Amino acid sequence: MTGKIKVMSIFGTRPEAIKMAPVVMELARHPEEIETQTLVTAQHREMLDQVLHLFHIVPDYDLNIMAAGQTLFDITTRAMQGINEVFQKDRPDLVLVHGDTTTTFAGALAAFYHQIPVGHVEAGLRTHDIYSPFPEEMNRRLTGGIATLHFAPTPTAHDNLAAEGVPERRIFVTGNTVIDALHHTVRPDYVLPPELSQVDFEHHRVLLVTTHRRENLGEPMRHVYRAIHDIVDEMGDVEVIFPVHRNPKVREIVREELGGLAHVHLIDPLEYEPFANLMARVDIVLTDSGGIQEEAPALGKPVLVLRDTTERPEAVTAGTVHLIGTAQERVYAETKRLLTDQA
């Protein structure tokens, strides 16, 4: 017996990797007390690998479960089967999972089946609507029901857990690890990739747009893109940078609504490092992402959230994030208001 605690961090997507990287690196700084291991499901293969490389993380176990056309059922069953096989041969003392992905829930449930305690990083976020966002809201609630240790990023998240009956001694308000990741990544001398060389950051106001939520597919996305089209048509000093999600349904709608439009730069998804540095240089962010709601305000950027609910109400209360939904008229009006305020 070495007396060390074996801690296994489990994640599978780029956002999880970004937020868990500071935790993994900190655990590795205490080798005399902690044996740290990393298991990735690779639920999102390419996007995950970018972050692992940036933070110099080499997983101990890589399940590589990603497959074309994968469903939530596919991800859940393949992740649980792979994690089960790892636990059978290399049982940790504690499992850490992050947030609200399908890997998060699968990792927590697999640990529960093996009676291994679970620590939930970014615990306690709630929209109080199980289908918004889907499936993330239920993933984090179910993970919270399994977890022994709850690492809440904010007092509001703490209060959500306390209201659900989680004992006070099991809740720890830690702040958000995404801030640590940004400090590691953003720097003023960073050179943006060539596909952004035509953007006039000096003389134009620049909007950054990202959309990918399942619940926004179809008409909600079309309404957002038409509002952006109207803004660019009306205001000649506005440029839009849109890293388009790889989902074929998203790409088709974007191409139909914004393809060929002057001052709208449709680019492939960026790796985390260029994306974070781009975010630091734009004027306004429009997104349906959860993580960007935290990252952009930390960089001093106003955010328009293209959703009807948010699990991150603190920034809304502070006024740095505005929850606007996807109605074309509202997206147009709120974007124009921010641009007018900045003029």
Catalytic residue numbers read: 100, 122, 136, 212, 214, 245
Point out which residues pair with 189 in neighbouring strands. none
26-35 contacts at long range (C-beta below 8 A, 24 or more positions apart): 32/4, 33/4, 33/5, 34/4, 34/5, 34/6, 34/7, 35/2, 35/4, 35/5, 35/6, 35/7
Sign of the Cα torsion 336, 260, 290, 309 reads positive
Beta-carbon-side half-sphere exposure of residue 272 (alpha carbons within 13 Å): 27
How far, in Å, CA of 267 to CA of 282, rounded?
A: 15
In angstroms, what CA-CA distances link 43 with 70, 95, 181, 341? 9, 18, 21, 41
Report whether 44 contacts 66 (CB < 8 A): yes
Q: How many Å is the maximal CA-CA distance in the chain?
A: 70
In angstroms, what CA-CA distances link 29 with 20, 22, 51, 93, 179? 14, 11, 19, 18, 19
The structure tokens listed for 126 are 């709630």
